[in-house]
Every structure is written in structure tokens, then in C-alpha cells.
Structure 1
Amino acid sequence: MKYVNILSEVNNSIVTITINRPKKLNALNKETINELHHVFKEADLDKNIKVIMVTGSGEKAFVAGADISEFANYNVEEGKVLAATGQELLFNFIENLSTPVIAAINGFALGGGLELAMACHFRVASDHAKMGLPEVSLGVIPGYGGTQRLPQLIGKGRAMELIMTAGMIDANSALSYGLVNHVTNLDELLPFCEKIADKIARNSPVAISAAIRAVNANFKDGVNGFSTEIQEFGNCFGSEDFKEGTTAFLEKRKADFPGE
């Protein structure tokens, strides 16, 4: 598939996806959401890809929000479909990928941009990045999972304040809140993320996928996370990765995981 709004580059076992709409500050429109769904799906199905990184083009924005011009005239039902489709195609889709996803936040991550970053498995920000959910200033609420994931990450009180004020926080505040894992300067952002990705890539893809499912289970209604952990733990014992990992440990060598 030829992409209009994104770039995709593979380096060894890491793919870097860049949202490339700099004139629109990389805002998410329908076309971009569809392209992102496709490229994430392709990467997740590729056994050679161990880690996915997502960032924005330029130095100003990761993603500055959704493309408001597309839905300014929507009615109630169209609004519901917009949120449901976006969550299914991209945000929930990323959260539940088997391949770990790192958000490299290189600038403004606002509205749908912060929601995209929060859907990733964790986040690293440049020191000039700013984050927020300004939707209530437009008469609407975050619709791509923002009201759910932000409280999970930073707590209910802080999330309520950030959403209700429509304000922004800087990278260091995001770090202290637990919204991002690390802050670095812009020049070091992608290399820093790549170092983390390299560490992840050395480990068992089967075990990492199982860990993602187990962690996510704790945040799903009606699902017992401990039961999911037990099930996923047991399933690991039937994998080739488990055989290789334990054998390598006993033989005092580095494991070469087959990813099966």
C-alpha cells in the first residue's frame, strides 16, 4: 500500500512510523487513521519486526489533534460513529497489538495526538513537548479513549483537572505524573527510543505478547487480570521461546529466540 500521510522505515527489527502532515501539524484525519491502521497491522504480522516506534514529522508536533474540519458539522449519530470507528481502527487496535509500541513524542501531543500516544504501550517525550486534551474548549469531550486512558495513567484527579481545564502540561510535568517514562532532548529522542527498542528486541516476542495481554486484562471490565496472567504464564511453557530461553540460561549463553 502506498501511503500519503505517513512514512515507514525499517532498521533491523525496529520499524519507525512517522506521521507526515507537517502543514497540518500532523493532525489525524480519516485517511491518516486508515493508513496508520494498515501500517501497524502490517508490522504486527511481520515476524521480523520486534518493536514499533511512532513519531511525528518535523520539530513542532507529534500529532496536534484530530482534523476538526472533517467533523465540525457532524450530528449526534455521526459523532458516535466517528469515535467508535476511530477507537476500533486505531487506538484500541494499537493498545492490543502483540508487538510493543513506543510513542516518541517530538512536540505537541494534543487531543487525538495524546490519545494516540496513550494507546501506545509507553511514551518518551522530547523536553519541549507539550501534552493535553483540549476538547472541552470545542464543546466536545475526548472521544478516542482519552477519558479512559488518562485516568489510568495519571490518576482520576489529575486527569479530571487536565480534561476540564483543556490545559497543557510540559514534558517534565508529564514525567512527574507518570504520563511519559522518559524525557530527553529532541536530537536524542529517536536514538534513545531505539536503545530501549533494542533491549526489548533481545527478549522473547512470545513472552512480550503474553505480557501485553496480561497487563491489558487488568484494565478491562469483567476480566480477571490475575486469571489472564495464570493462563498466559502457562501458555509460555508450550512455546519454542521458553525452550530456547531456559536452555540458553542453563548453558550460560545468550538466547536466540525463534518467536514461536
Structure 2
Amino acid sequence: MTHLTLIQNARVYSPKDLGVKDVLLGGQQILAIGNDLKLHGMNLEIDIVDASGMYLFPGLIDQHVHMAGGGGEGGFQYRTPEISLSHITTAGVTTAVGVLGTDGVTRTTRELLAKAHALDFEGISTYIYCGAYQVPTRTITGTPRADIVLIEKVIGVGEIAISDTRSSHPSDDDLAELASESRVGGLLSGKAGVLHLHVGDDETKLEILFRLLERTQLPKSTFTPTHLNRNPDLLKDAIRYGQNGGYVDITSGIRPDEHDHISVKPSHAIRQLLDAGVKP
């Protein structure tokens, strides 16, 4: 029997503001949203949650989560462990996309896939990108296209590093090939088929993406560069890229502190993008 939960008197955003409403949940599905919801003539056990004075909104999607751990730059002792469910859900995230990062040697896409399945079992929705910083990148089946087509949770390739000393310094052709693999894999499987790009501090910034969009007919939606609030100059390039119709991604974990006096605070970066006419 499906478990029912009735959330009462919440200020509901869907994502538009619907005002104060009740929400009826059955399992993992929203069954009804309305005023003063009641079930008549049914002998059911229902959990009632009084959400008076609280906000209720759709779960957030985080497209860049180091599910299987990260770090390792500086030695094995700097490796970070796998993420726990509470670190994801306490941020309001209910859908997460896993990435590997710098270490495509001691961490594998298989491990990432296994962790995604574990988190999925715990109650959130999960997907992964195949690959790591390096080119040729890391896959499960042998090619990025086959990973996307044959493995349900793989929705694209990433995170491939560009403009970073830790990258493989991929050429235009290298990146175009990976983007094509992602796109065709997505077309064959009905998935996003994106190329997720880690952007570092090098002065080249997003130059390679501007060149690719000029010399190929790959859709702008194929590329999702991230960490674009890493420094003010990179953010300026991101604004130009966004004004041309490209997708841009700001990293909430990159913000100024006592060790970082260069990065742009995420809220300030988003404000600059919106003020410059970049569409959300």
C-alpha cells in the first residue's frame, strides 16, 4: 500500500508562488495540491505535517557532486571520503549528478556509478557523467557514447578540465570529438548528452568554447562550463558567453574567504549575469 503524507498550510512554490496550500504525497509522487485537502470515506493511515510558516518548493538539482569523494591533490592523505546523504538533502537537493574530478586514477567511473545507485536507494534521484579531468577520458564501456547509450544513469561526459594546469590541455579537436560523443549518445538514448567542463584559472578562460561554437555546428546546449565565478575576468568571459546563448554555471562552494580573495561571491555573480541580460 502506498504511504500517504499530507503537508498542511505550507507556502508552496511550484516554482511559482501558489500561496498557502496543502500537498498530498503518495510514495514519491505528488498526488494533489489544494486548499484544505481531506480524504473522505477511506480508512488510511496518513502522516500529517503542519508546515505553517514554512516554505515548500521543488527539490534542487545539483549538476556537480563529487559523490565518490574528491581531493587527493597533495597526496593520498588529502583524499576526501564519499559524500553522505545528509550533506545533499540538508542543502535542499533531491537530484544530484556525480562527477569524478582530478583523480581519474585511484577513483573510477564504476565507483561513481555504484555510489549513485546507493544514494538512489536512500531516496534521492541520481545521475552521473562518465569521465574525469583527463583526455582521453575515463569510461566504463570503452567509449563515452556507449556509456551514455547503455548505462541508464550516465547522461553526459565530464568533468573535463579546460583552462587549468591540471587538465590534459585538450585541443579544439579533442573537445569537439567529446562534445560529439556526448551529443550523439544523448540523441540515441533520449538523454541530455552534455559535455560538462571544469574551467580553471588559466588566462585562456572560455576561448576554446568560443572557437568551437564558431567552427562547428554543435548546439550551445551541448556545453555546460562550471566554476565561472572563480575570478572576475572569467566571470566577464562567462557573461559574454551567456549573452551569446551559452549555458553558464556558478559554483556555490566558490566564495571569497580568508584564503581566497579573488573569487566572486555566487550571489554577486548571478546578479551580474542577470544585469547583463543573461537569461536564467
TM-score, length of structure 1 as denominator length: 0.32
Structure that is richer in helix per residue:
1
Structure that is richer in strand per residue:
2
Which gives a bigger RCO, structure 1 or 2 (Cα 8 Å, sep 6+)?
A: 1
Find the structure with the greater CA-based Rg. 2
TM-score, length of structure 2 as denominator length: 0.31
